[in-house]
Amino acid sequence: MSEVTETLVLKALSQVLDPRLSRDIVSLNQVKNLQIEGCNVSLQIGLPAADRKLKDEITRLAEEALRLVIPEIEDIRIGFPEQSPPQTQSPPSQTPPGQNPAADEKLLPNVQSIIAISSGKGGVGKTTVSVNLAIALAQSGASVGLVDADIYGPNVPLMMGELKPPGQKDGKIVPAENHGVKFISMGFFVPEGSPMIWRGPMVHGAIQQLLRDVDWGELDFMLVDLPPGTGDAQLSIAQLVPLTGAVIVTTPQAVSLLDSKKGLAMFQKVSVPLVGIIENMSTFVCPHCSEETQIFSHGGGKSAAESLKVPFLGEIPIDTAIRIGGDTGTPITSADPASPQSKAFVEISKKLIDFAAEKKSEQTLKIIQ
């Protein structure tokens, strides 16, 4: 009869996968409070914001793995740490005016300013904008983190030029780092080409892990690249952390602007301050003849900002160099900081810095008063 040891128990549990992250619960550091008494084993499994069905399934898989690897086990007791229930199902309209539901959250206590980058629809270059703004902020001397919360289409690792999954240290995930920016993405944990077919609570839990289980250290700025639309991810981030503000990325054509207005309205309902609107793919200048072409129209972002009474942050041209930078993992702000395209991102990053400084001053005044 073999002795029941911690090594054997962890070996068995390493075969149990968290279906949200496609990694085993041991490497994810989810096995907590493991205790062994003779042939009896008790432990807890950390599944943030997990629903009952997921917990039941993980429990079943863990018990099966333990009894398969260690037939000598007699009693198995599996529990889950007590956690506050996710609030993703609460309608935005229930948020009291002027209050952020995450105002008392201490999920990221060492991050000074958290900016959400969102868009009403896909295909407007939101992640390209997020990546280049993060690098521009880092070039200004700020310490910057980037969270790829676009659960269904995580492209940040490719654009940042780092595809190797991050390691762990002291029970925390060590974020990847390139171009002076720390970043994390679900793209590191999901096999390439695998679809993410997740309901709201699982999306909430995954975003919570990207924020809580990563060793971010002290940051001046954290940019959160959200998926397009006004769904679970947007509500989750607004409820999990006190957002300093939100940026909406749009293209000039009418259909994009219409969806952008919905995105702005959503952030207003959950009491997140609006930094402003960025018009991406604003105009195209032919590199051969220098003729300017307004492929997606022009000026719509500025007009929308004026009508909605929010700041217009600037225009980003549509340019081959920007696309190449994203495809090769060397964004334009890093590859050619002196280019007109990079300067457009830099100018917008300065407005983010000013906005964050203004909000910090307002908070200081409130404390004094």
In a domain, 146, yes or no: yes
Q: Which residues span the domain enclosing 117?
A: 97-368
Q: Tens-digit pLDDT profile for the chain (369 aa)?
A: 568 888 889 888 988 887 766 677 887 778 888 999 888 999 998 875 556 788 888 898 999 999 888 888 989 999 887 643 333 333 333 333 334 444 344 688 899 999 999 887 777 889 999 999 999 999 999 999 999 988 888 899 999 999 988 888 888 899 999 999 999 998 888 777 666 666 666 777 788 888 888 999 999 999 999 888 766 777 788 888 889 999 999 888 766 667 777 778 888 888 889 999 999 888 776 667 666 666 666 666 777 788 778 899 999 988 888 999 999 999 999 999 999 899 999 999 999 999 999 988 776 656 555
Dist CA 237 CA 259 (whole Å): 19
Q: Are 178 and 206 found together in one domain? A: yes
In a domain, 84, yes or no: no
Residues 6+ apart with CB under 8 A from 18: 24, 25, 28, 30, 47, 58
**In angstroms, what CA-CA distances link 153 with 21, 122, 126, 133, 256?**
14, 10, 12, 19, 19
Q: Are 199 and 276 found together in one domain? A: yes
In a domain, 47, yes or no: yes
In a domain, 86, yes or no: no
Q: Are 317 and 349 found together in one domain? A: yes
Last residue of a domain, one of 23, 45, 79: 79
Q: Are 153 and 186 found together in one domain? A: yes
Residues 6+ apart with CB under 8 A from 13: 24, 25, 26, 31, 43, 62, 65, 66
Last residue of a domain, one of 27, 44, 79: 79
Nearest in space to 346 (alpha carbons), one of 333, 359, 331 = 333
Q: What is the pLDDT of residues 16-62, one digit of tens each?
A: 887 766 677 887 778 888 999 888 999 998 875 556 788 888 898 99
Q: Are 157 and 61 found together in one domain? A: no
**In angstroms, what CA-CA distances link 68 with 7, 9, 25, 71?**
15, 11, 17, 6
Residue 64 identity (one-letter amino acid): E
Assign residue 157 the CATH number of its domain: 3.40.50.300
Q: Are 115 and 66 found together in one domain? A: no
The predicted model scores a pTM of 0.70
Assign residue 68 the CATH number of its domain: 3.30.300.130
Q: What is the pLDDT of residue 203?
A: 77
Alpha-carbon dihedral 17, 20, 21, 22, rounded to 10 degrees? 40
Q: Are 62 and 126 found together in one domain? A: no
In a domain, 288, yes or no: yes
Q: Are 330 and 215 found together in one domain? A: yes
In a domain, 42, yes or no: yes
Q: Are 181 and 34 found together in one domain? A: no
Q: Are 63 and 136 found together in one domain? A: no
Nearest in space to 117 (alpha carbons), one of 275, 307, 256, 314 = 275
Q: Are 67 and 112 found together in one domain? A: no
Contact yes or no for 237/223 (Cβ under 8 A): no
In a domain, 70, yes or no: yes
Number of structural domains (the chain) is: 2
Q: Are 106 and 74 found together in one domain? A: no
Nearest in space to 310 (alpha carbons), one of 268, 276, 352 = 276
In a domain, 348, yes or no: yes
Longest distance between any two alpha carbons in the chain, whole Å: 82
